[in-house]
A and B are shown apart, each in its own frame.
Chain A
């Protein structure tokens, strides 16, 4: 028996023999009790992930996506958190598990890649030990075997001279290398599900691409399920099978990636897509940001959460929150006046003529001031 306490035994079937989805999240709610009231960070999220597939979770800061990944794992601090809903992983109900049982799952079955490697790695512990400790304590390897495996892991994530790296401290490595180390740590015990929380934020664009390629390669090799959490639609564009778009703690659109980009329905998603700058545009083109700010998650709102910033908004939206509706092909969305539909176009036109600021910003129309004409970047004439 290890000096660190006894471990609980749980059985997890082999990846290949799983029937049904690898991960099922059913109506997950996660709220924090704060001095200002109950903050609903995750407000009724459901999703499914099959083995070997990649899911992208996209949203702004404050949309609840980071809390979602921690809540799925059950990794939240105990005292002021309320959680309800079900999370089923590989046949086990994670939400019903006790802490010792959850510890069996963490690392070995489900792993989390953190956002900021500088704070997520212990600055006073050598990199080698941070990799080998899970190998020795969880996978039961002895020191020699663990070191060998660590070297192999570092090599597989593309770190040169891995034997030396084992002895380094985190601050002695570059940002990109630190992130690779984090990935190596996450992959060390061969998890079946990888949750990557903003794995590329803060890295150079070229390094970003390398890291994402690395994740994709590892996923294929190990046949893992992967959830990529990010605010950047460009990151998930070519690398995910399905995408979930979150806003203010709720899922507002969910679809296979190709379908999402081809037939966007939710105005928020459309605005996100439009905000990505493209190489094909002329330089000095004005960026199309979404005006306004994400809502305060502590206050209860009536109606659709996106209403204050939506170019398509109508009175109905402000009164009643739209439910999640399906549009075939696994595509669901939450909108009364979806993009590309007749109602949607009419709503937008109405808003533009009514001089709604969000609509005007959306169509690129500048409000005409007292004397002059407005210039319009995308060529739409001002009526």
Chain B
């Protein structure tokens, strides 16, 4: 499932978590030392914080893009076309003389928004539904579960393309909404599964027995326990969406020009002329995406193994 390379892993992890075999896998995945040494819990580790810093830096650059001393991303300087990295153009230029560094940074704006915003929306909608459904099993839960399964069964790319085809022109907010629509069922399922595993624990029963209201139980008891898994999953979701946008761009179905997302730039860069003449066009945004995805994946994985070990010890 290489289009959405992480999707299979997160789906299989969420799927596996819903079948009996998965609880073991979820609890003991990655990081459990099989040697006799009990590793000291030293916190999340250097790698994690480096990755977080990197992602934060990328976000910062994107947010401050207009204030930074960058050349205009769409300015075509015909005197320096297809130039490699020089002092004036740190990452070089593309076939229309546009500075690649600023194109990448401005392009990252779109990609980052497309990555993070839908997940936040999906968490709010899908997450709260998941909490409710997981806590209050019953007819509502069964219906929501079936609906989410149907929505997941529908390939994300397909749903987005179909919606796009009939909802032109494609604009950032529309794409964001579509992505949110696509990610909500997945987040719903993950949070529901997580809630289910905690809802039967004794501290929840105890809270109910002391007469706590449902909202209080949800917010004060369940939510803090679910947050680690949810955040870990959300980070993978962001990585997924960024790749999804790239795939759409590849099909020419992403944001319409002149707004450029990283996917658009890569798409430009890999059509055969450019790939051989000036591989830098495709290289820089690919590298950016590669580093961003690696950072997100590492963060998600580290979060998960950190909190899962605790669970196993319980």
Contacts and interface: CB of A to CB of B under 8 A. Distances in A.
Interface of A: 32-36, 77, 79-81
A36 B40 CA distance: 10
A32 B35 CA distance: 11
18 contacts: A32-B36, A33-B36, A34-B36, A34-B37, A34-B38, A35-B37, A35-B38, A35-B39, A35-B40, A36-B38, A77-B35, A77-B36, A79-B35, A79-B36, A79-B37, A80-B35, A80-B36, A81-B36
If over half of A's interface residues share one DSSP class (helix, strand or loop), that class is named, otherwise mixed; here it is: loop
B217 to A, nearest CB: 36
Nearest to B39: A35
A71 to B, nearest CB: 14
Q: How large is the interface on B (under 10, 10 to 19, 20 to 34, 35 or more residues)?
A: under 10
A34 B33 CA distance: 12
Nearest to B38: A35
A80 B36 CA distance: 6
Nearest to A77: B36
Contacts of A36: 38
Interface string B20-50: 0000000000000001111110000000000
B37 to A, nearest CB: 5
Nearest to B40: A35
Contacts of A35: 37-40
B20 to A, nearest CB: 13
B308 to A, nearest CB: 19
A32 B36 CA distance: 7
A339 to B, nearest CB: 38
B204 to A, nearest CB: 30
B43 to A, nearest CB: 15
Contacts of A79: 35-37
Contacts of A77: 35-36
A292 B300 CA distance: 45
B39 to A, nearest CB: 7
A133 B38 CA distance: 34
Contacts of B38: 34-36
Given A33-B36, A81-B36, 5 more contacts: A33-B37, A34-B36, A35-B38, A35-B39, A35-B40
A32 B40 CA distance: 16
Nearest to A39: B36
A80 B33 CA distance: 12
B36 to A, nearest CB: 3
A77 B34 CA distance: 10
Contacts of B36: 32-34, 77, 79-81
